[in-house]
Structure 1
């Protein structure tokens, strides 16, 4: 991966750069990140960049050829479907493992996709902080924004999606117990960037079809919800008391509509075809002769790696009752891609983040999120005390 750049970065790396980066984040947001930040960004060459976006374009194109109404009917129980107008998905994340291609090169392989928001305001600050605190970064010819965006145009692009034409006071970021979430640094970044409040779902008031939150003794109408609540977490949170549910008929605009979380997700992966997409099967309809050692078992709607079985067996599968809610996905061979200043190299997962651009009537790639690991699972919730792993961002070589 651009050996010259990596060699120069590693040779000139100093621990103080990394400490300065973490201090920069803590100073900006008033607390450290609740997940591990990697000592290094990732540098990706223009050939791999082209292959990534060729795969992304093929995936996005296939989305609009799926029978989304049928997917909604199959995968969202009627009593959970939200009656609010769905509109287009405001967000999309496409995750690739960077893998050995079998010929000494690197190829992206689709891991999952999700029409749900993620760290849209933390990531640009992380990219900027690497540039600010690391004098060993390449001086030019690399970027972490996509579609030709920069700091100003990126903020405007994402701001337009989340706020629309509403007053920021009437828009909230909604989460369950946001102060306890590992991603809370992004909530703080969002509040700083947009001027919207971060509100726990348990504190929202419902009066008829209207929703409100309280601030400084005032009851403020909610007209638009930037939803960060994961349905899986609602189910898993004991004694959760709220005045409304995601599927209630309420007079708000959803960013994004709750049903998109289910409809564009792992549940459609068996329907997608491309050279960069591993084969997937629904657990209630898979060939009897497949070699399970070559597959990973995933629940369709869990989050942050919950419930993944890297080594499924006929015995474990036989105990699953709701097989329609699982897939078997062909394993991929992550490359030990990043040479590190430690005994072991690191693997990389690359997430391309999209927002819906109303003027262009399309999902538009705007930035990336990158995770590094030296273990089996690539997830910031499953990291060890090792170094040169964790949350990062990729700088793409300019084409």
Structure 2
């Protein structure tokens, strides 16, 4: 991490500035942010930035393989398969832990990947507020590929809206206003104009979908999908109460729900390289490794770290009723390289790509970062700490 910028930031940091920063972040929003936002951004060195970009490019190359759909056909649970799948995901997120290699170099290591949207608009909002409150130098940016705010928003519009008017494209989640990430939903509405709707707001007539706004019924041409099927899995009668979105409907998806499963933990065993931990499907293990303490056991079909076993025992594997739905992944040891006033903090960085229709491949656009002192990354594992939570990384333009 960039030690000179970190030193200046820490020397000038005060709790009063952080309080002002949080006020500014929440200013004018429908509701305050529902998760912890960290006291500090991350400052990347040029070397680490370049390693991170290279790591992402190597993984994207696998997704671009002509046989990728064939490899991942079994990733999609039968009950959640949605028809009319397109040929590529519009959003890709790659999560990397900040680690050390055998030579002692600070390197990124892939943790997970998603063919699903992330906080594309909140990260823009967050970066602007860090810059304003803490006077981040003008030669630092949160964007990749030379983007500025205007260029980035144009890419968002090209990806999410495509040829349609903003009112013809809805951002949809199961209960959108009450999601922890609703802050991003309403910022998306602010930046590109897409109305925010819940699953229960959808109206079906034949194979077409509509929603109501100001008493008028408006046809939906695209759904910017933020619904994860895991969130409705516990209600077997859900589609008796709302539109069954698994039908062949006359609507486009950004990103199509099937890509949530295709680009996921399921993809990990098909990846290789210096930035990818060794990963195997449990059902395909020839033998259980002798050094299980160096591995984590992950369920394929869960999110937000739920169900992960960090301290794996032999019988954990033997007792699995569905080994085909689990992976055994080489443990990634995060290095606490971000220096807080009272010690080191671990970092996870998410590369966020956008892939508009007509483009040959996804474009790396912006980033998300999370700081942790707990055993795992994520808000629920860091409730009692400071200098942790959601943030963004700055790097040289």
Partner of 2:152: 154
Between the aligned partners of 2:211 and 2:356, the Cα distance in structure 1 is 29
| Displacement after TM superposition at 1:159 (Å) | 1.1
Give the paired residue count: 395
Residues 332-343 of structure 1 mapped to structure 2, 5 A cutoff: 332-342=332-342
**What is the TM-score when the length of structure 1 is the normalising length?**
0.95
* 8 Å Cα contact 1:113/1:266 also seen in 2: yes
Question: Which residue is 2:231 aligned to?
Answer: 233
Equivalent in the alignment of 1:61 = 61
Q: Secondary structure at the match of 2:280?
A: strand
Is the 8 Å Cα contact of residues 246 and 258 (structure 1) preserved in structure 2? no
Report if the CA contact (8 A) 1:99-1:334 is conserved. Answer: yes
Where in structure 2 are the equivalents of 1:112-127 lying within 5 Å? 112-127=112-127
**Secondary structure, in 3 states, of the residue corresponding to 2:368?**
strand
Question: For 1:110-149, what aligned pairs fall within 5 Å after superposition?
Answer: 110-135=110-135, 137=136, 139-149=137-147
Corresponding residue of 2:169: 171
**Is the contact between residue 22 and residue 32 of structure 1 (CA under 8 Å) also seen in structure 2?**
no
Spell out, residue by residue over 1:318-344, the C-alpha distance to the aligned partner (whole angstroms, 9 max, x if none): 3322211111110011001111023x3
- 1:282 matched to which residue of 2? 281
When residues 30 and 85 of structure 1 are mapped into structure 2, their CA distance, relative to the original with a 3 A threshold, is closer
Q: Any residues of structure 2 matched to 1:1-399 within 5 Å, and which?
A: 1-65=1-65, 67-135=67-135, 137=136, 139-237=137-235, 240-241=238-239, 242-290=241-289, 291-342=291-342, 344-358=343-357, 360-398=359-397
Indicate the larger mover: 101-110 or 76-85.
Answer: 76-85
Residues 1:55 and 1:309: Cα distance change in structure 2 (over 3 Å)? same
Offset at 1:382? Answer: 2.9
Q: Is the 8 A contact 1:95 1:351 kept in 2?
A: yes
Structure 1 residue 89: Cα displacement: 0.9
Change (3 A) 1:38 1:251: same
Cα shift at 1:289: 4.0
2: CA distance, partners of 1:243 / 1:178: 14
Mapped partners of 1:245, 1:72: distance in 2: 24
How high is the TM-score relative to the length of structure 2? 0.95
- Root-mean-square deviation (CA, aligned residues, Å) is 1.7
Residues of 1 paired with 2:358 and 2:213: CA distance? 34
C-alpha contact 1:35 1:381 (8 A) present in aligned 2: no
* 1:238 CA drift (Å): 7.0
> CA separation in 1, counterparts of 2:211 and 2:275?
45
Q: Distance in 2 between matches of 1:114 and 1:62?
A: 14
CA distance in 2, matches of 1:310, 1:205: 44
Secondary structure in 2 matching 1:174: strand
Pairwise CA distance, 1:380: 2.6
Q: Does the residue aligned with 1:182 lie in a helix, a strand or coil?
A: coil
Report the CA distance between 1:79 and its aligned residue.
Answer: 4.9
Q: Gaps spanning 5+ residues in structure 2: where? A: none
